[in-house]
């Protein structure tokens, strides 16, 4: 049984490789899909709807979801880079205690943040193309999926980590109790 102070991964290099692979793979997927969909006419429906759930429609977004902070492209791009840097620092500063859920989650969030920041700095807007048809929801892209799913996966990792830490804190107390009882006999 590991104590809460023992590293969950002993191999920093392995974590770095997995993290980098996730960031690179998701970022390439995001950039390729954005390049493809951006070749169509702005506002046009490219395909769909599929099963009445979503369709592909090209939108250029200078703000955030739901039109928040419209025309704040550069500021949002800088904020994305700051968040990506902070999460990467968090990952490697806590590498001894991090779990795979957290590595994967942070990798996806960082990749999505970088993908949208690249759009903001080089295009002046974010290329969105996935539109839900069953509910009124902002049009989004692969980077947004990475950020959202990555955040959820990261939270799952935190809960798993907290659960293991609380078990590790309780275990020594139980062992000490048994030792104490055997000494009394």
Known catalytic residues are 128, 144
- 126 strand-pairing partners: 61
CB distance 105 to 151 below 8 Å:
yes
CB atoms within 10 A of CB 139: 21
Question: Could you tell me if residue 50 is left (phi over 0), alpha (psi between -120 and 50 degrees) or otherwise beta?
Answer: beta
> Residue 63: what are its φ and ψ, rounded to 5°?
-125, -145
Please, what is the end-to-end C-alpha distance for the chain in angstroms?
27
């Amino acid at each position: 049984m590991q104590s809460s102070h023992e590293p969950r991964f002993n191999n920093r290099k392995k974590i770095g490789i997995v993290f980098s692979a996730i960031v690179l793979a998701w970022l390439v997927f995001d950039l390729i899909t954005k390049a493809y969909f951006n070749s169509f006419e702005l506002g046009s429906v490219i395909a769909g709807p599929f099963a009445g759930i979503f369709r592909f429609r090209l939108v250029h977004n200078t703000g955030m979801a739901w039109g928040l902070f419209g025309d704040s492209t550069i500021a949002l791009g800088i904020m994305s880079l700051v968040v990506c840097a902070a999460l990467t620092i968090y990952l490697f500063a806590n590498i001894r205690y991090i779990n795979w859920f957290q590595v994967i989650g942070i990798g996806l969030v960082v990749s999505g943040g970088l993908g949208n920041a690249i759009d903001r700095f080089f295009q002046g807007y974010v290329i969105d193309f996935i539109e839900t048809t069953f509910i009124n929801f902002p049009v989004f892209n692969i980077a947004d999926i990475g950020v959202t799913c990555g955040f959820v996966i990261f939270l799952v990792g935190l809960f798993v980590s907290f659960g293991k830490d609380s078990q590790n804190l309780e275990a020594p107390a139980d062992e000490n109790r048994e030792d104490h009882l055997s000494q009394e006999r």
